[in-house]
Amino acid sequence: MKSPFYTAEHDAFRDVMRRFVDKEIAPFAHEWDEAGEFPRALYRKAAEIGLLGLGFPEEYGGIAADQFMKIVASQELARAGAGGVSASLMSHTIGSPPIARAARPEVKARVLPQVLSGDKISALAITEPGGGSDVANLRTSARRDGDHYVVSGEKTFITSGMRADYLTVAVRTGGEGAGGVSLLLIEDDTPGLSRTRLKKMGWWASDTATLHFDDCRVPAANLIGEEGQGFKIIMQNFNSERMGMAAGCTAFARVCLDEAIAYAKERKTFGKPLAQHQVIRHKIVDMAQKVAASQAMLEMLAWRLEQGESPVAEICMMKNQATQTMAFCASEAVQIFGGAGFMRGIKAERIYREVKVNAIGGGTEEIMKDLASRQMGL
């Protein structure tokens, strides 16, 4: 699909990404999903092609990248139809931006090069067992004790939670509400930190965990930003996270479309290919229409972000548009495949299992609508 937003540089990176996915991910996606994990060496391989460093400061091993380079990365990863691999491999894109933006210089210099080289894994820990996206009312506490904070509480549904080396954790250092929230960098060998693996509907290859903090002593130097400024930093993270999810979901929908088209041309029923049945052709056109609309909306929002705008309402709507498109296309693809679509091992089946996590993670569909309506002055 031609687009005026992509340059020769974007196209060259797309070629690199496509070769990487075809060689390093796609052949193993089903195997890794069944195993519930993928090799840690994949992080270093991703770093070698510049994937992990996109958008991070060059002084720490990052690579300058605009919104469209990030879209290319998300959408080429999605071609493997393995959301769990994408989620954990790229968990640093939500775990490390607060570090790059607001951590002390010595912390940035120590942590970011290790993450962007693929030697260490970064994750974000905000959600708690008693509350999901209600960041302002989180309960995990961090009490100052000399040159340390003492952290107590739990986080759950944390992507890369089992093997992350660096956890960017939202904690309460002050009173009630958003003003009492801060961010701390908690390292994997901190005494009192334990983890429980969680089993999920989809994203099997991604490790997901509940984190337990039992009086963990964390150096005060690991405070990210100032005390009480954590909520603001978290909110700054959301636009990028939701755009990345929207890009991936739109691409997963396209994978379902492409798989359905290929199968419909090959599979014969009642003496002719599925694609020659009008009802199947109409399904495919409906899928293609939704994918094209979502991609156009995504790219227009990316352009607006490049112009310095912050279209929060539209980004929230974009996330919902993309997840709804993914849900529709995954369902229709499985339907077109029939019994074969119910069997494990094909991309459409795997994507179908991963629909709901995208509609929930990064802010549920309901929260996106409420936030968008507030931004619209309603």
Residues in the chain, total: 378
2: in domain: no
Pair 264, 201 in one domain:
no
The predicted model gives 210-223 an average pLDDT of: 98
Q: Which of 30-34, 133-137, 166-170 has the lowest mean pLDDT?
A: 133-137
Q: Specify the 3-state DSSP secondary structure of 122.
A: strand
Q: Specify the 3-state DSSP secondary structure of 298.
A: helix
133: in domain: yes
Pair 250, 358 in one domain:
yes
Pair 154, 24 in one domain:
no
- Whole-angstrom Cα distance, residue 270 to residue 193? 60
17: in domain: yes
- What number of other Cβ atoms are within 10 A of residue 214's Cβ? 12
Confidence tier at 136 by pLDDT (50, 70, 90): confident
Nearest alpha-carbon partner for 138 in 150, 151, 121: 151
In degrees and rounded to multiples of 5, residue 218 shows phi and psi of: -115, 130
- Whole-angstrom Cα distance, residue 229 to residue 79? 38
| Of 24, 128, 227, 241, catalytic | 241
What CATH number corresponds to the domain at position 137?
Answer: 2.40.110.10
Confidence tier at 2 by pLDDT (50, 70, 90): confident
Nearest alpha-carbon partner for 70 in 21, 17, 148: 17
Q: Specify the 3-state DSSP secondary structure of 150.
A: strand
Tell me: pLDDT of 131 over 90: no
Pair 84, 156 in one domain:
no
47-88 per-position pLDDT tens digit: 999 999 999 999 999 999 999 999 999 999 999 999 999 999
Pair 58, 184 in one domain:
no
Tell me: pLDDT of 132 over 80: no
Q: What is the pLDDT of residue 1?
A: 63
Domain end position, chosen among 231, 253, 286: 231
Pair 205, 329 in one domain:
no
DSSP 224: E
Tell me: pLDDT of 16 over 80: yes
**Among this protein's residues, is 37 annotated catalytic?**
no
> 């493997």: which residue's tokens?
80
What is the count of structural domains for the chain? 3
- Whole-angstrom Cα distance, residue 151 to residue 193? 9
Pair 203, 269 in one domain:
no
Q: Return the sign of the alpha-carbon dihedral for residues 119, 44, 105, 244.
A: negative
Pair 282, 348 in one domain:
yes
Nearest alpha-carbon partner for 191 in 215, 162, 220: 215
Pair 59, 141 in one domain:
no
- Whole-angstrom Cα distance, residue 292 to residue 254? 9
User: Are 326 and 246 within 8 A, CB to CB?
Assistant: no
192-215 per-position pLDDT tens digit: 999 999 999 999 999 999 999 999
317-367 per-position pLDDT tens digit: 999 999 999 999 999 999 999 999 999 989 999 999 999 999 999 999 999
User: Are 140 and 154 within 8 A, CB to CB?
Assistant: yes
- Whole-angstrom Cα distance, residue 188 to residue 162? 9
- Whole-angstrom Cα distance, residue 207 to residue 33? 11
Q: At what angle do helices 278-306 and 230-266 cross, to 10 degrees?
A: 150
3: in domain: no
What CATH number corresponds to the domain at position 108?
Answer: 1.10.540.10
Pair 326, 369 in one domain:
yes
Query: Structural domain of residue 172, as residue ranges?
Result: 122-231
Pair 126, 95 in one domain:
no
Q: At what angle do helices 67-78 and 230-266 cross, to 10 degrees?
A: 50
What CATH number corresponds to the domain at position 321?
Answer: 1.20.140.10
Domain end position, chosen among 231, 263, 289: 231
Domain end position, chosen among 231, 257, 277: 231
Pair 44, 107 in one domain:
yes
1: in domain: no
Tell me: pLDDT of 42 over 90: yes
